[in-house]
Amino acid sequence: MAKSYQAPRGTQDILPPVSDRWHHLESTFRKVCERYGYQEVRTPVFEESGLFARGIGDATDIVSKEMYVFEDRGGRSMALRPEGTAGIVRAFVEHKLAGEKSAWKVFYFMSIFRYERPQAGRYRQAHQVGVECFGPTGPDADAEVIALNMAWYRELGIRGHELRLNSLGCPVCRPSHRQALSEALSEVRGDLCPTCQGRMETNPLRVFDCKSAECQALVASAPSTVDYLCAECQSHFARLRDLLEAMELPYELAPRLVRGLDYYTRTAWEVKYSGLGAQDALCGGGRYDGLVEELGGPATPGIGFAAGIERALYALEQGGIEIPGRSARGTLVIGLDEESRRRALLLAESIRGHGLRAETDYFDRGLKAQMKQADRLGARWAVILGEDELKTGRAVVRDLESGDQSEVPIDDVPGWLDRA
Ligand code: AMP
């Protein structure tokens, strides 16, 4: 026997009928985004690895440990995208899309790649939906993007999730927070895990994100960013909170919330779902006012979020939420001998020409086996053609719900089904 292959660790095949569930999540997301005036964007699966190192931050786990980096045949260092924002910012800059007083609002569906330890809810090829909004500086845009994010979960019927909100400050107020944090951490330095000791030099804020319980306990009382916000960041955050309350979007303040990517400024949020166990983050987002400039573009603020599709699906399953099935129940056109099968194939084609779903059986089977097949397909109608039907020019159309049968001139069947 020839060697057989398995999908790589941490990846999965999305097969029917599960792919219907994916489609439902994605089409709901598209619908919600379009309501908010967003348009779809698609960018390459791989980019120069420097884009991510620069955009996300060298010291982040994503870049330093998890990125799929490879040298292409031209000797260039490339990486499979570990997240969506950096590539979209690259496209925004490359295509010179920045405009005075205008917003560029895009949404996406994409695979992301991270070399992580595969476990429940954590994949090496994961899938995200997300949006990015470039241009607006004010908190109104933050509130609207968060509202869009929550509208998707609401529309899907997911319940029991929690919006957690923080402000990370800006380049004006961050240095004083960083200093206070470094001072506080240096007192407990020896007790921090080796990774966090390293983080103290590169980006002490990331210590908040450490998974170790000891580090978590040590930073529980460390200075948080909200206590060091400058006047502008304070008023931005206050207005955002006021808007969320007015929109009746409940949230919890999460002063230790930092994100796994370095580019966030001011607003940061995540959505948690307790049914997910250790991988409880449904989604993460934030403002990244310095990123476009950092990646060579004109100073342009931005805000966005990315939400895991696998996690949203899991939350749907946990909540026992039924996904609407395939609505177009079609017709199986049954041919009982060679000539009728030929006619069945042509009739199925003209039914499809009316925009209706039609299939034929491929296996030279008798009536009984084909009727069973119609059942398996969930067909609404069976159209039967045999020697007699071809002679009289009239097909038998059976309503598989009621069991009623009608005789319909073969050429009229598509129109008849269309009206039915
Ligand atoms: P991030 O880009 O890390 O902020 O992730 C945004 C969201 O994507 C997370 O909240 C998860 O829902 C999802 N996600 C990120 N990485 C993975 C992964 N390796 N496997 C499954 N979902 C992921």
Residue 355 backbone zone (phi > 0: left; psi -120 to 50: alpha; other: beta):
left
70, 82, 84, 108 from 126: Cα distances, Å: 19, 9, 12, 14
What is the phi/psi pair of residue 368, to 5°? -60, -45
**Residue with CA nearest ligand 1 atom 8:** 308
Its domain, for residue 62, covers 18-173+229-318
Of 265, 283, 318, which one is at a domain's C-terminal end?
Answer: 318
Of 270, 297, 318, which one is at a domain's C-terminal end?
Answer: 318
Residue type, 381: W
Please check whether residue 243 lies inside any domain of the structure.
yes
Q: What is the pLDDT of residue 261?
A: 65
Which residue stretches of 275-366 are H helix?
291-294, 309-318, 338-353
Q: Pick the atom of ligand 1 nearest to 84's CA.
A: 2
Please check whether residue 218 lies inside any domain of the structure.
no
Please check whether residue 204 lies inside any domain of the structure.
no
Q: What is the pLDDT of residue 357?
A: 96
Q: What is the pLDDT of residue 325?
A: 67
CATH of the domain at 161: 3.30.930.10
**What single-letter DSSP state applies at residue 297?**
S
Residues 169 and 247 in one domain: yes
Q: Are 302 and 292 contacting, i.e. CB atoms less than 8 angstroms apart?
A: yes
315 CA distance to ligand 1 centroid (A)? 14
Of 318, 344, 367, which one is at a domain's C-terminal end?
Answer: 318
Residues 346 and 289 in one domain: no
Residues 141 and 244 in one domain: yes
Q: What is the pLDDT of residue 57?
A: 84
Antiparallel, parallel or unpaired: β 161-167 and 252-253: parallel
Distance between CA 316 and CA 161 in Å, rounded? Answer: 11
Select from 29, 132, 283 the residue to mutate for testing ligand 1; criterion: most ligand atoms less than 8 Å from CB. Answer: 283
| DSSP reduced 3-state for 276 | helix
358 CA distance to ligand 1 centroid (A)? 39
Distance between CA 256 and CA 168 in Å, rounded? Answer: 9
Q: What is the pLDDT of residue 382?
A: 98
Residues 161 and 272 in one domain: yes
Distance between CA 297 and CA 124 in Å, rounded? Answer: 31
24 CA distance to ligand 1 centroid (A)? 19
Select from 29, 83, 112, 287 the residue to mutate for testing ligand 1; criterion: most ligand atoms less than 8 Å from CB. Answer: 112
Q: Are 168 and 264 contacting, i.e. CB atoms less than 8 angstroms apart?
A: yes
**Residue with CA nearest ligand 1 atom 11:** 308
Give the H/E segment covering residue 385: strand 381-385
66 CA distance to ligand 1 centroid (A)? 13
Distance between CA 343 and CA 95 in Å, rounded? Answer: 53
Please check whether residue 339 lies inside any domain of the structure.
yes
Please check whether residue 183 lies inside any domain of the structure.
no
Residues 43 and 67 in one domain: yes
Distance between CA 37 and CA 304 in Å, rounded? Answer: 14
Select from 128, 129, 163 the residue to mutate for testing ligand 1; criterion: most ligand atoms less than 8 Å from CB. Answer: 128
Select from 311, 313, 316 the residue to mutate for testing ligand 1; criterion: most ligand atoms less than 8 Å from CB. Answer: 311
Give the predicted TM-score (pTM) of the model. 0.92
Q: What is the mean pLDDT of each run of 10 residues along the chain (420 residues)?
A: 95 94 96 98 98 88 93 98 97 94 96 93 96 97 98 96 96 91 89 86 82 85 93 98 98 88 87 82 95 95 97 93 77 97 97 97 94 94 97 97 96 96
Residue type, 180: A
Please check whether residue 301 lies inside any domain of the structure.
yes
Closest residue by Cα to residue 155 from 245, 318, 272, 35: 35
Q: What is the pLDDT of residue 173?
A: 92
The distance in angstroms from the start CA to the end CA of the chain is: 51
Residues 257 and 373 in one domain: no
CATH of the domain at 388: 3.40.50.800
Residues 338 and 298 in one domain: no
Q: Which two tokens stand for residue 391?
A: 């002679």
Q: Are 388 and 340 contacting, i.e. CB atoms less than 8 angstroms apart?
A: no
Please check whether residue 335 lies inside any domain of the structure.
yes
Residues 258 and 404 in one domain: no
**Residue with CA nearest ligand 1 atom 21:** 122
**DSSP characters over 69-114:** EEE-TTS-EEEE-SSSHHHHHHHHHHTT---TT--EEEEEEEEEE-
Please check whether residue 323 lies inside any domain of the structure.
no
The domain tally of the chain equals 2
Residues 67 and 152 in one domain: yes
Q: Which amino acids bring their CB within 6 angstroms of ligand 1?
A: 83, 114, 116, 121-123, 126, 128, 260, 281-284, 306-308, 310-311
Distance between CA 150 and CA 144 in Å, rounded? Answer: 10
Residues 122 and 249 in one domain: yes
Residues 306 and 394 in one domain: no
Residues 68 and 161 in one domain: yes
